Amino acid sequence: MKHHYWEPPIALYLFLGGLAGGILFLAAIFNSFVVPGYAEVFALPVLVSLVCVAIGCVFLVVDLGQPGVVWRVWTTSKSIIKWGATFLVIAAVFALLFLLAFIGDAWPIFAGLSGLLKPAADFFLIVAGFFGLCIMMYTGIMLSTLKAHAFWATPALPVLFTISAISTGCAAIVLSIGGWPAAMTLESLFVSEIVLEILHVVDIVLVIAELIVLLTMVLSFAGAGNETAKAAARRWVKGSYAGLFWVGMVGLGLVVPLVMYIGGGHSAAATLVAPILVLCGGCLLRFMVVNTDDRAEIPGENRYYNRLAKNDAEFITKWTYGDNQF
């Protein structure tokens, strides 16, 4: 059965939210444990994460369809989207504070503000990184809690989305690190090169892990389990989505970047093309998961949509207030 409630804007929201979370999480880890004392190296990646959060929130509002009352997301007690929106707002606030700590290096007019915030820059990034981790986990958990979609209702999906988010975060940092020249010294540029070398290895491991989890999840569903999930998985493996899955997601999104990472060294293929392909693969993954065609019918759903089409006011009122005995 075709689902009615989530369209492409939600796939973009999940991708951009996970990407932003991955950038912030990795930036916090590297700044705290790998290259402490060089927070300016991560200024531009953090800016990229803020842009992703802003655009992702726009897509969420577009999907909700009522921009004027979007605040109601936080008043709905059972809405899991509320938690994701909260994580995004907190992460964005602390990422912005981190960025403002270095804005004076680019625009001297803000030097006073930067001087005030810079001593706490590491703290801001740690908090943003923690909530970035929450965002990454949430994007998969949100789908896995929706039992009507058997293809989503698996513990493997949050793991897959988290690995993919960190991998795309790696790719985004590789493409943007060291791009805040007003705050960069020669020593900072040297540190950027060290970070790039480490991220190169980290993303190799992540791409391999993502490939294993993805194939295990899809092929296991294709061979056994719930009939709805089996049908969806088989469409990925040998049906209407097979080309996107094998050529787009597995081939161009994972295997080709992996080969480039391993054999490319410092070439443009490894430092430019491979990260872009990883980002495209991560986006395609969300689109394919969100748009998986079939799901189990929710009890009473067909009655609801049939009555809705007839503008049955009495039915809609009773359904809204829980008395759905039609």
State whether 99 and 204 are in the same domain.
yes
State whether 203 and 326 are in the same domain.
no
Q: Residue 26 falls within a domain, yes or no?
A: yes
Q: Residue 23 falls within a domain, yes or no?
A: yes
CA 30 to CA 28: how far, in whole Å? 6
State whether 178 and 219 are in the same domain.
yes
User: What are 155's two structure tokens?
Assistant: 């513990």
State whether 126 and 203 are in the same domain.
yes
Q: Residue 243 falls within a domain, yes or no?
A: yes
State whether 300 and 262 are in the same domain.
no
CA dihedral 314, 149, 132, 22 (to 10 degrees): -140
State whether 44 and 169 are in the same domain.
yes
State whether 266 and 324 are in the same domain.
no
State whether 23 and 84 are in the same domain.
yes
Residues 6+ apart with CB under 8 A from 230: 221, 222, 223, 224
State whether 318 and 228 are in the same domain.
no
Quote the pLDDT of residue 246.
95
State whether 252 and 307 are in the same domain.
no
Average pLDDT over residues 114-135: 94
User: What are 88's two structure tokens?
Assistant: 């995004």
CA dihedral 203, 208, 212, 217 (to 10 degrees): 30
Average pLDDT over residues 282-301: 75
Q: Residue 2 falls within a domain, yes or no?
A: no
State whether 108 and 249 are in the same domain.
yes
pTM of the model: 0.86
Average pLDDT over residues 173-187: 78
Q: Residue 143 falls within a domain, yes or no?
A: yes
Please tell me which residue, 180 or 208, carries the higher pLDDT value. Answer: 208
pLDDT band at 304, cuts 50/70/90? low
pLDDT digits (tens, 9 = 90+) for 48-60: 999 999 998 888 7
Domain span including residue 306? 296-326
Q: Residue 192 falls within a domain, yes or no?
A: yes
Weakest-pLDDT range from 61-65, 122-126, 267-271, 287-291? 61-65
Q: Among 99, 97, 17, which residue's Cα sits nearest to residue 58? A: 17
State whether 303 and 258 are in the same domain.
no
How many separate domains does the chain show? 2
Residues 6+ apart with CB under 8 A from 201: none
Helix residue ranges per DSSP H, the chain: 8-29, 43-64, 80-106, 111-117, 121-144, 156-176, 186-223, 227-238, 242, 256-264, 268, 274-290, 301-309, 313-320
- Residue 104 dihedral angles phi and psi, to the nearest 5°: -65, -25
Domain CATH for 166: 1.20.1630.10
pLDDT band at 126, cuts 50/70/90? very high
